[in-house]
Amino acid sequence: QHEHSVPSLLLQAEDSHSELRACARWLRGRLAEDQTARLAVIVPDIAAQRAAIERTFRAILAPEMQNIAAPTDSGPFEFSLGIQLDRTPMVATALDILRWCAGALSLDRVSALLLSPYFAAGRRDAATSSQDELTARAEFDAFVLRDRPLLQPQMNADELASLLSHPRFAAQLVELRLYLRTFTAAMRRSAVARDRSHAEWSTLFQEMLDAAGWAPVAGLDSMEFQTRSKWEAVLDELASLDFDPQSARVPFKAAFDALVRIASQTLFAPESRHAPVQIMGPLESAGSSFDALWFLRAGDLSWPPVPSLNPLLPYSLQRDFAMPGADIAEDTTHALHITHRIAASAGDAVFSYARETADGRQRPAPLLSSLNLQAATVPHEDSEVVPIPLDRLLDNTPVPAPPAVALRGGASVLEAQAACAFRAFAERRLFSTPLDSVSLGLNPQDRGTIVHNVLHGFWTQVRSQAELRAMAIADRDALLTQCIESAFAREHPKPAAGWPSAYMDAERERLFRLLRPWLHFEATSRPPFVVKSSEEELQAVPIGPLHLNIRVDRIDETVPAISSEKPAEIILDYKTGFADPAGWEGDRPDAPQLPLYAIASAAPQLAAIAFASIRPGKFMGLSGYQSQNGILPNAKRGQTLDLLAKRDEWRHALTALAEDFHAGRALALPKDYPRTCRYCRQRLLCRLDPSSLAPSDDTNPDDTNGTLYASALEPETQA
């Protein structure tokens, strides 16, 4: 043991995170002074603190380990206490593969398998090929699997194999396709539904993992090899359950549950690398000596831990035998002995605690009063930051123009440019887009697409209001039902049995109850009209220097009262959510879609442009601008104007936006802060300082009830 003087420091930190960072900086300083020093970090509840400690120590002690390709066991610190085997990535992958044998996995777990280096890993010795395939799997997961119209966020192995059978995946996902075919064939041969002994299940489990290409021995590093060896010991322990005569033959679920239980009760600790920093619990440190140590979480809420009584033994018996938790004085004496032993095990010891914790404010542990520590406070990190002078470079290189082809996105390009030029540049020129979240059932975009398809099918057969009025109510309902069935058959042809099928039936009924009143409104509340086109696609529509592909929901024509008059166009845009024509106004319109349709129209006369709000109750109707009274039912004052002159005004505004986008003008200047930035997903790129923007006077940060900015800020979620 060291010749030891009384430890000198008891540090108080503001919070747990500051305490951890102070400890990591202290360790870094000690290692810089002496790389051969033996250092220890003592933590009372190491299992609960492990993730936070590892995250902080990686960032400060070994920043090179932040590289995702860095070995996980290369840092200057290691934990002496193992973790549950089922929490290691390799074994977690194995358990998910075996769960797949019994049925579908959640989509998140399927994604985890695709991205795991331990699934379908038959060519791990070929590093370049393996990395290329993992990249291809990540792209498949992001752009194919996550884009599947699933009513339940889950998938079985056969469904994934069927999806991967498409020829376009043959070149990049060779190993995945091969092992998935082998795995599904092995599942069909294995007869998982049959009862077996534990030993037979143990053998079959490993055969299924081998068929799935799980963690082949070739190419495993030392820690992975030790993990696989521990897994094989777990399978051996599962086979040993056959010594119980009560469990001769069991079904798959019982055997798998036993396997999970054994894996969760098995601790895995890789062989020590003798790292200079050892992280351990108070009891594990017994008999060890160090050059210096840091005792974390030495507050009165954390140390000493309060032992609990055994609920299965009488209290008197536990008290007589001085069992933990039965005698407070005995427990305190024991904890005091451990504290003094830890303090004496190093030449330099530091105890620390956080003043503020999730459980409340705390003080130093009373046991530390006998150590005669000198109190100190963890200094703020800001005092250690040295500002680095920045080099200023003049970036006057012009941004290359986009290719001279029709741009994808249509009006959404101008919509993003109007909201914020940088957002449009990031999304449409840099293609910076986040992954779409997976929702249960139909999301708003799916519902909007089905509404479009139903109405397109209906008006393809019923070409005018006169035909609509001539139909009997029963015939109209029958045709609407037929169009709904056709739309669902196109978008979701084969829903699974059970609740997905019932859910789709409910969606059909909901859609019928939504569109039936809408057709009644069109038949009774509007002046006579003829449907000129529905869901018409216009290719390469010129707007300034850009060419955009757009799709016009519907164009109607008026029926003139006098035969000598020419019909005028009514341009409609279906909306199942909130929509307001005020979003068409200004140099930076929030909803430029209908103005763009009006510009693209070659009609000599425009009777109206309007949102067709297909919403129940009082919200249902047409809202927009008309060239003369009576075209739009219940039009408000100010909504009758010269649409041809208005079209020229819109052309000027949208052309200016198109020119700015084409020229690469990408200034981070949101139209209306903070609402414009509320749903923007480019904040990591623009690095806009929110304090530099003053909110508008009329901004209501709590306004979530249909603002004008919904269409300009959120992803397309409306019809």
Long-range pairs of 154-157 with CB within 8 A, sequence gap ≥ 24: 154/104, 154/105, 154/106, 154/107, 154/110, 155/104, 155/105, 155/107, 155/110, 156/100, 156/103, 156/104, 156/105, 157/100, 157/183, 157/184, 157/187
**pLDDT for the residue numbered 370:** 85
Instruction: Name every residue whose Cβ is closer than 8 Å to that of residue 447 and which is 6 or more positions away in sequence.
Output: 507, 511, 576, 719
How many C-beta neighbours within 10 Å does residue 549 have? Answer: 15
Q: What is the distance between the alpha carbons of residues 448 and 511, in angstroms, rounded to a whole number?
A: 10
Nearest to 250 by CA among 205, 187, 197, 208: 197
Instruction: Name every residue whose Cβ is closer than 8 Å to that of residue 550 and which is 6 or more positions away in sequence.
Output: 410, 411, 537, 538, 541, 593, 596, 597, 600
Angle between the 89-102 and 198-211 helix axes, to the nearest 10 degrees? 100
Q: What is the tens place of the pLDDT at every residue in 352-378?
A: 999 988 888 899 999 888 888 888 888
Q: What is the distance between the alpha carbons of residues 346 and 371, in angstroms, rounded to a whole number?
A: 14
Long-range pairs of 35-39 with CB within 8 A, sequence gap ≥ 24: 35/276, 36/276, 37/276, 37/291, 37/292, 38/276, 38/278, 38/289, 38/290, 38/291, 39/276, 39/277, 39/278, 39/290, 39/291, 39/292, 39/293, 39/294
- Where do we find the tokens 């000027």? 652
Phi/psi zone of residue 687: left (φ > 0), alpha (ψ -120 to 50 degrees), beta?
left
**pLDDT for the residue numbered 701:** 38
**pLDDT for the residue numbered 384:** 55
Instruction: Determine the 3-state secondary structure of 487 from DSSP.
Output: helix
Under DSSP, the state recorded for 402 is P
Amino acid at 629: N
**pLDDT for the residue numbered 712:** 31
Angle between the 174-190 and 127-143 helix axes, to the nearest 10 degrees? 80
Nearest to 590 by CA among 508, 538, 653, 639: 653
Q: What is the distance between the alpha carbons of residues 463 and 18, in angstroms, rounded to a whole number?
A: 70
**pLDDT for the residue numbered 474:** 95
- 317: tokens are 């018996």
- 289: tokens are 């000596």
Q: What's the per-residue H, E or C state across 263-316?
A: HHHCEECCCCCCCCEEEECCCCCCCCCECEEEECCCECCCCCCCCCCCCCCCHH
User: What residues are paired with 250 via a beta bridge?
Assistant: 196
The rounded Cα 262 to chain-centroid distance in angstroms is: 32
The DSSP H or E segment spanning 616 is: none
Contact indicator for 270, 223 with CB cutoff of 8 Å? yes
Ranges of the chain with pLDDT below 70 = 1-7, 68-73, 123-130, 149, 244-247, 380-386, 435-440, 496-499, 564, 637-638, 689-719
Nearest to 211 by CA among 85, 92, 86, 100: 100
Strands, sheet with 569-575, edge to edge from the N-terminal-most edge strand = 529-543, 546-558, 569-575, 606-613, 621-626
Long-range pairs of 354-360 with CB within 8 A, sequence gap ≥ 24: 354/12, 354/13, 354/14, 354/15, 354/16, 354/18, 354/19, 354/297, 354/299, 355/12, 355/13, 355/14, 355/15, 356/14, 356/15, 357/15, 357/16, 357/299, 357/301, 357/302, 358/16, 359/301, 360/301
Q: What is the distance between the alpha carbons of residues 51 and 44, in angstroms, rounded to a whole number?
A: 14
Q: What is the distance between the alpha carbons of residues 128 and 563, in angstroms, rounded to a whole number?
A: 74
**pLDDT for the residue numbered 375:** 85
Q: What is the tens place of the pLDDT at every residue in 479-519?
A: 999 999 999 988 777 776 666 788 889 999 999 999 999 99
Radius of gyration of the chain (CA): 34
- 684: tokens are 């990591």
**pLDDT for the residue numbered 497:** 66
Q: What is the distance between the alpha carbons of residues 53 and 37, in angstroms, rounded to a whole number?
A: 20
- 210: tokens are 């081998």
